[in-house]
Amino acid sequence: MARKLLLEKAHVEGIRHYDVYRREGGYRSVEKALKMQPNDIVEEVKKSGLRGRGGAGFPTGMKWSFLAKPDGVPRYLVCNADESEPGTFKDRYLMEFIPHILIEGMIVSSYALGSNTSYIYIRGEYDWVTDILDQAIKEANENGWLGKNIQGSGFDCQIHVQRGAGAYICGEETALLESLEGKRGNPRIKPPFPAVKGLWGCPTVVNNVETLAAVVPIMNEGGEAYASIGVGRSTGTKLISACGNINKPGIYEIDMTISVEEFIYSDEYCGGIPNGKKLKACIPGGSSVPILPANLLLTTAKGEKRLMNYESLSDGGFATGSMMGSGGFIVLDEDQCIVRHTYSLARFYRHESCGQCSPCREGTGWMEKILLNIENGKGSLSDIDLLWDIQRKIEGNTICPLGDAAAWPVAAAIRHFRDEFEWHVNNPEKCLTENYGLRHYADPIHVPV
Amino acid sequence: MSEEIKTIKVTIDNITIDVAPGTTILQAARQIGGDVTPPAMCYYSKLEGSGGKCRTCLVEVAAGSTADPRPMPKLVASCRTGVMDGMIVKNITSEKVPDARAGVVEFLLLNHPLDCPVCDQAGECHLQDLGYDHGKEATRYQFARRTFKKEDIGPYIQLHMTRCILCYRCTYVADQITNKRVHGVVDRGDHAAISTYISKAIDNDFSGNMIDVCPVGALTDKTFRFKNRVWFTKPVDAHRSCTTPGCCGKATLWLRGDEVFRVTARKDEWGEVQSYDGKTGWICNTCRFETKKTESWTIEGLTAISRHSVIGANKYKTLEMPSETVKKVMNGMNPKLLMDIHSVSGVNKPEIHLSEINGPAHSSDFKK
């Protein structure tokens, strides 16, 4: 059984409340941190090798050290709790069951960054979680962990919770800042990056919920101890939201040394695929990352076992690999239709595109319409090439990563499952009643350039 | 190095230019001019915060700067990317840019109705020019286009959202020039629409400038709609002393005979409103919509129109005459007759100097 750092105490009775959380060793990291210099905390996080848990996997300590520190200008810490990636629900779980760990991590991080006002921007649909966080903040205030002169250290900090209004795009950090300022959630054009000019034009750090929570075990046990867990540049533990065709969907905290095969089939984790079905494909890191067929998921193109970590999942680039992303692990069994699945993702991205820049605004809708045609047996073979060309023209040409996120799933589906698309086109009647199944799923398929 | 560096060097399509620090790639390219300049549909130098949205101005940065000569991994929006010393930019010489730009043009035209024959903007439409210069001849889109109902915004302006390419320029006008923000974008994605806040009519003195900044026919002048095609009207520069604070009073009148069909602000070669003494020459609604008599204006002369414009169409040109070289060749003599006269001809009399003859030379001149 792997060590749990974040969810160890998540199921202690009443852990949601301050008294129990404190009794179980909560807020020790704040006590420790307030005796340190802020820069030492940043160094400690750098040592831990912690990488952003929101999807991009950028080293957190490095992100913190980029924060501009001009005199007389406030700095802000913003927690990105706008978790809206399909297949990802780890942050909700964390905030719902053990809210104080986020508050604790945020106090330490605020102290390290010099932020006296920090925000939690939470997804609008998580209304009950907002209440839980508000309660936790209230308790932290009552016990002197927030507010003026925290624990007599002279450091002031307040945390505010702001609900979003139901837009995926507001999980993009600059759109989040726009929305937090009360504006339309359009991503900003970078540079300037938030570390220089963020919230209200002031230097800002935006971190994911899990990232900020992970600061707590880093402070408690030291950066080096944290870095000793895991493998290579994938240090510490990672929360995985597993869903789809598996026996035990849910949140798993893993250290990043286990293999994908073990994660899917062992009883400790997902517990295999129900009803004796076979694995067809899997999206290992939330809907935006490329889908992988079973053969490439379990072993890399080099023939090595694929592990659940940043490096191994992205091994082979997009041609034969994928990404760790936000850890939304979606498993598809042999009965699932890749065309329908891709269509449903395209529909999501069309609906969530902010409409600011033209490739994403127009391209996402176009892809959705073509995919719907193919799914309904009305497509043609040239449509598949057209889809490839559209995604190629969206990718990299947009303001924010949503364009890439919309293009990658389509590209990967065509790259690995082109035969299934062609089957749909060639069997317009049959595709309405039958599934393509597993026919060629394990064969490497020609990659169009 | 005691001297402060005042300018930085940037190379665009193998042409090197010195520009002030803080200049964007697009502005540097405009200083060079010509084909090197990327097209811009949403960027408007006079509107703060505009640009970055349409993606037509994408360029390749082959080297970031002298200090860090790595190429940028993606194509960048030239309108919002500042130049660095020693930056090497590829626009028309890039292999990637034309393809990406053709893709953007296709995306922009995807939901555009292409109703140019009945559109008032035809002839001065930036999207027409863009499609002509950078687009493909056919579309691959086979689905119904998105449509909206026509909407009146205020007494003078009609919004035809179906034609809109969501450049956001008009919302910046509403934000930065007019005194209240009642104009913005509602909804998102491909159903996003320009709208006035809770259907409020725009009622202020400078709202008409939205028409001038609109690159397509989405915002049209209700006093001009369907009155004439722009290429049948004759543009002249004119001014009047306007009492509205903030109005520059300098405009272009579009005439047919003596009748003023419409009034617009004066535009430069990039289709942007010109600046006077550092201030942008926006005009007020009184000048634009209500002063349509030639008597009210002092006409300065014909507007200079680019020879490439359909409005120019052989009528109003600023043709440059080739410089006169004959005088130089003839050692300062000014010949009246440019003809090689045979040395044995009876009319050839070297003692009679051709330049001394007043008017065309005749045989009688040589019989003196």
Beta bridge partners of A162: A121
Which stretch of A2-6, A250-254, A347-351, B50-54 has the lowest confidence by average pLDDT? A2-6
For B173, residues 6+ apart whose C-beta sits below 8 A from its C-beta are B47, B206, B207, B209, B210, B213
Q: Does A351 touch chain B (CB under 8 A)?
A: yes
pLDDT at B317: 46
Q: Does B187 touch chain A (CB under 8 A)?
A: yes
Residue B90 and residue B123 in one domain:
no
DSSP strand E in A216-356: where?
Answer: 230-231, 234-235, 237-244, 250-255, 279-283, 292-293, 328-333
Q: Does the residue A193 lie in any domain?
A: yes
**How many C-beta atoms surround the C-beta of residue A410 within 10 A?**
29
Rounded to a whole number of angstroms, the distance between the first and last alpha carbons of chain A is: 44
Contact A397 B165 (CB under 8 A): no
Residue B119 and residue B214 in one domain:
yes
Residue A119 and residue A175 in one domain:
yes
Residue A101 and residue A177 in one domain:
yes
The answer to whether residue A335 scores a pLDDT higher than 80 is yes
The answer to whether residue A173 scores a pLDDT higher than 80 is yes
Q: Does the residue A37 lie in any domain?
A: yes
Q: Which amino acid is at B310?
A: V
**φ and ψ of B331, to 5 deg:** 55, 45
User: Domain end: A308, A331, A354, which one?
Assistant: A331
pLDDT at A389: 94
Beta-strand relationship, A292-293 and A279-283: antiparallel
Residue B128 and residue B206 in one domain:
yes
Chain B residues closer than 8 Å to A84 by CB: none
Residue A98 and residue A166 in one domain:
yes
Best residue of A349, A362, A399 to probe chain B, by most B CBs closer than 10 Å: A362
Q: Does A350 touch chain B (CB under 8 A)?
A: yes
ipTM above threshold 0.85:
yes
- For the entire predicted model, the pTM comes to 0.86
Residue A347 and residue A396 in one domain:
yes
Percent of all residues in chain A with a pLDDT value above 70, rounded to a whole number: 97
The answer to whether residue A172 scores a pLDDT higher than 70 is yes
Best residue of B55, B76, B96 to probe chain A, by most A CBs closer than 10 Å: B55
- A356-373: average pLDDT: 93
Q: Report the chain B residue with the minimal C-alpha distance to residue A186.
A: B188
Q: Does the residue A416 lie in any domain?
A: yes
CA distance A395 to A367: 13
Contact A361 B58 (CB under 8 A): no
Pseudo-torsion of CA B34, B37, B39, B40, nearest 10°? -120
C-beta separation of B238 from B259 below 8 A: no
Residue B211 and residue B135 in one domain:
yes
CA distance A167 to B189: 11
Task: Indicate the pLDDT class of residue A437, thresholds 50, 70 and 90.
Answer: confident
Query: Which residues of chain B are under the pLDDT cut of 50?
Result: 1-2, 314, 316-317
Query: Strands of B15-19's sheet, edge to edge?
Result: B15-19, B8-12, B87-90, B58-63, B76-77
**φ and ψ of B273, to 5 deg:** -65, 135
In order of A236, B93, B106, B121, the CA distances from B137 in angstroms are 55, 22, 10, 21
**Domain with B31 in it:** 8-102
CA distance A421 to A386: 13
Is A16 in a helix, a strand, or coil?
A: coil
**Residue whose pair of structure tokens reads 């919230």 in the numeric block:** A199
C-beta separation of A180 from A121 below 8 A: yes
CA distance A266 to A254: 13
Q: Does the residue A7 lie in any domain?
A: no
Alpha helices in A353-435 (DSSP H): 358-375, 381-394, 402-426, 430-433
Q: Which amino acid is at A311?
A: E
User: Domain end: A229, A248, A267, which one?
Assistant: A229
Q: Which of B51, B55, B141 has its CB closest to that of A358?
A: B55
Task: Indicate the pLDDT class of residue A443, thresholds 50, 70 and 90.
Answer: very low
User: Domain end: A277, A296, A331, which one?
Assistant: A331
Percent of all residues in chain A with a pLDDT value above 90, rounded to a whole number: 72
Contact B108 A366 (CB under 8 A): no
Contact A357 B75 (CB under 8 A): no
Q: Does the residue A9 lie in any domain?
A: no
Residue A265 and residue A161 in one domain:
no
Residue B16 and residue B94 in one domain:
yes
pLDDT tens track for A40-97: 999 999 999 999 998 888 999 999 999 998 888 999 999 999 999 999 999 999 999 9
Residue B207 and residue B240 in one domain:
no
pLDDT at B183: 78
pLDDT tens track for A141-169: 999 999 999 988 899 999 999 999 889 99
**CATH number of the domain bearing residue A182:** 3.40.50.11540
Q: Does B138 touch chain A (CB under 8 A)?
A: no
Residue A301 and residue A347 in one domain:
no
pLDDT at A445: 39
What the block records as the tokens of A135 is 């309660």
Residue A25 and residue A112 in one domain:
yes
pLDDT at B257: 83
CA distance A185 to A172: 9
Q: Does B185 touch chain A (CB under 8 A)?
A: yes
Residue A258 and residue A308 in one domain:
yes
For residue A57, give the nearest of A257, A409, A314 by alpha carbon: A314
CA distance A24 to A220: 13
Q: Does the residue A321 lie in any domain?
A: yes
The answer to whether residue A448 scores a pLDDT higher than 90 is no
pLDDT at A65: 92
Task: Indicate the pLDDT class of residue A20, thresholds 50, 70 and 90.
Answer: very high
pLDDT at A187: 93
Q: What is the mean pLDDT of chain A?
A: 90
Q: Does the residue B39 lie in any domain?
A: yes
Residue B42 and residue B66 in one domain:
yes
- A382-401: average pLDDT: 93
pLDDT tens track for B293-337: 888 999 898 888 776 677 765 454 455 556 666 666 666 666 555
**CATH number of the domain bearing residue A280:** 3.10.20.600
pLDDT at B35: 84
Q: Does the residue B163 lie in any domain?
A: yes
Q: Does A404 touch chain B (CB under 8 A)?
A: no
Q: Does the residue B310 lie in any domain?
A: no
B107 backbone φψ class: left, alpha, beta (φ>0; ψ -120 to 50): alpha
Rounded to a whole number of angstroms, the distance between the first and last alpha carbons of chain B is: 75
Residue A151 and residue A63 in one domain:
yes
Contact B190 A350 (CB under 8 A): yes
Cis peptide before A191 (omega within 30 of 0): yes
Alpha helices in A187-309 (DSSP H): 209-221, 223-227, 260-265, 294-298
Q: Which amino acid is at A162?
A: Q
Residue A322 and residue A421 in one domain:
no
pLDDT tens track for B118-173: 999 998 899 998 998 888 888 899 899 988 888 888 888 888 999 999 999 988 88
Beta bridge partners of A117: A76, A158
**CATH number of the domain bearing residue A365:** 1.20.1440.230
Domain count of the fold of chain B: 4
Q: Does the residue A445 lie in any domain?
A: no
Residue A344 and residue A429 in one domain:
yes
pLDDT at A353: 93
**Domain with A294 in it:** 238-331
pLDDT at A248: 93
Residue A111 and residue A183 in one domain:
yes
Q: Does the residue B309 lie in any domain?
A: no
**CATH number of the domain bearing residue B134:** 3.30.70.20
Residue B177 and residue B239 in one domain:
no
pLDDT at B313: 59
Q: Does the residue A441 lie in any domain?
A: no
